Structure 1
Amino acid sequence: AARHLYKELIEFVPQHKLIIAANHLPEITGRDHAIWRRIRVIPLRRRFDKDEIDPYLSLKLDKELEGILAWMVKGCLRWQTEGLQKPDCVIQAEKAYNEDMDHVESWLKERYVRDSEAWVPFRSLHDDYIHWAKETGSRFMGSKQLAQALKEKGMSPTKTPNGRGYRGLRTKETEVM
């Protein structure tokens, strides 16, 4: 939905793709598949220095217009029959971006080690998570959202006489030397 200045809202079907050219990728707090399947990170790492500028480039391209058009049509026909495949550099950039935005995973890697014998009370986990999020300036989730995030990472809560917690995690502070 959108609206013209001082007018009522109107609804429309989007007929565009949003492209953001930026030095730094925006922060994405959502972990759901819906947002991540829509994002394409295209790394543009090539720099062009002033001494590389070709002042005659447009003249050179004008001479090649027929060949450029033929190349574009050929590429379009190939796209229509074969579809588009993401290049490896895009796949890797998206994976790295997704991992960078997964602050629960960052917290777990920073503060915990996997240990099949260990057990951590959920209250302690959640308190530590909130403390870490405040320390790092990250947004933090409520207890239900954190439990869901842990479940999505393959961790299931267990109930013991000491309460609800997670088996398989130990704080790095209590790491056995």
Structure 2
Amino acid sequence: MTAVHAHVALDGAAGTLRVSGAGLPVVELVRAAGTPADAHVPVGTRKAALLTLTVDGAPAAIRPARGRLLRRSYRVDVRAGGVRYRLVPCSYEESRLSRDGRRIGTLASSGDGRVTDTWEIRPAPLDLAVGTALAAAFGTGAAPWWETLGDVLGELLG
């Protein structure tokens, strides 16, 4: 069996991401033209109103959470082709991907467009393409809440 590889083209300054590959649906995520980029987010924003997601040319719904204190606040939800996906941090460097509420894999990306994946099940092409796109567009992993709170308090008191 030949492994399927996703090609990731990320341009954070322009706010564009394209994931493609042999046998994969093309996933494109675009930040609204003229909007400033948030340097902490590879695609430049976590505001759903400023993002357009398409999967194989069809519109898909995307809802990134705000990204605050809790790891769960960095989740990204997508509905594509009747399937619900969620990417949520599970460690400092990794995020888990679930499909319709079932964990299917773990992804890691530092925001440079490269994604490392580990699958608990053999991913469908849609799983691989959407998961790779989300990890590349938003990065993966987050510090635990208590560490983040400690950093905030340290800044306030320092």
Q: Do they fold alike, i.e. is TM over 0.5?
A: no
- Please state which band the TM-score falls in when normalised by the shorter chain: under 0.3
Question: Normalized per residue, which structure has more strand?
Answer: 2
Q: What is the TM-score of this pair, normalised by structure 2?
A: 0.23
- Relative to the length of structure 1, the TM-score reads 0.21
**Of the two, which has the highest radius of gyration?**
1
